[in-house]
Amino acid sequence: MNYSKKIGEIGSKMLIFYPWNRRCISVLLMGLILILNSCRTKNKSIIESDFEHIGHQLSLAVSLADSNFIKVNPKSGRDPIIPRSISPEHKMIYVGTDDWCSGFFPGSLWYMYEYTKDPKWEEAAKKYTAMLEQEKNNKSTHDLGFMMYCSYGNGYRINKDSSYRKILLQTAMNLKSRYNPKLKVIRSWDFGSDVWQFPVIIDNMMNLELLFWAFRETRDSSYFNVALNHALTTKNNHFRADYSTYHVVDYDTITGHVRQKMTHQGYSDESAWARGQAWALYGYAMCYRETGRTEFLDQAKNVANFLNDHQNMPPDRIPYWDFNSPKIPDEPRDASAAAIIASALFDLCKSDAKNQGEYKKIGDKIIQNLSDNYLVPQNKLFGFILNHSTGSKPHHSEVDVPLSYADYYFLEALIRKSELDKNHGN
């Protein structure tokens, strides 16, 4: 029922009988409309309310990105065309398709289409996914999973476009080419040769999902073995006794031994950088889902316990950018880490029936607090969804700003929460 229309009809009749009290009647009717609209909003689930809000934000983001694309008129495809963040001068930061964040914006559009089934989101998702096609030939980065599986991977999962499959398989082959069979890990960075020989970062766990997918599609065991070995080697070398993770582990290319363990974006070499812990949780939850190997489930559970029990985890479960940063509580939060953690916990719910209730409770709390306190107001900040993320505080880069990957994992977490709520009647 359209309550606003019905109340308006009642008000018209009241004015016929009480024309001298027009002002009082108008105020009364407006109050009734506001109360009913408030009740109607409260009756929506948090997922429905968030997606309604996200729809407004992403519409703005697509409009601005479309305008920027026309203005840039890219020749190489690696001109700045994909939204990533906001600059200190309060301008949109666009990046080229070879940026590690390039897949998150089209991936968010795919999630929006998956939830709403509105063709306009599919059209936008296809458009911004297509911009990344040339990266199928990129061999210079481990971030191909972020770039291509978040975009083309979600697109293929949803629409089964055979051209997407071909592009993803080419990408997976190039990611596999970065694997060192002696070290049994995939190289992360090609820069910094004066600092390390063969650097591997915990973030690299996230890119293994593309290789597991390629194995399922082709039954070529080399994809599976590369991903498996990388996960096992990382499990053995990246973690401390308390299951916190180092950011960077550097390997000796001759002996295969670990040369050094350090950070690049955390507070210190021995600190627990929040997003690194989130990558670890997500990565091992995914590896168990893909392999069924209990050591990966145990690792994910141990990382979850580290996060959940840490004395510096705030009550709202939105972590500070580093758990050991010295000025807590006067340190920036990282909403991106929170969104990744929530998505990982919802994934872990399907694997660990014993602890499912606790994981779901914490994941729900994160979503509630992100929704209540971290959503960008409607039509603000260029259409980003979450505010108050931290990219790299040591480099004074992207501190307390929106980030495209925070938005992506928030959307993914909402999708996963929606599935859990339906299956368990919550």
Q: Which residues are marked as active site?
A: 143, 203
Query: 221: part of which helix (H) or strand (E)?
Result: helix 221-237
CB 95, CB 398: distance < 8 Å: no
Query: 243: part of which helix (H) or strand (E)?
Result: none
CB 288, CB 300: distance < 8 Å: yes
Distance CA 74, CA 171 (A): 22
Distance CA 142, CA 129 (A): 19
What are all long-range contacts of 78-84, with beta carbons under 8 Å and residues at least 24 apart? 78/134, 81/131, 82/106, 82/128, 82/131, 82/404, 83/382, 83/383, 83/384, 83/404, 84/403, 84/404
Alpha carbon of residue 35 to chain centroid: 35
* DSSP structural state of residue 383: G
Distance CA 77, CA 79 (A): 6
194: which residues sit within 8 A by CB, 6+ positions away? none
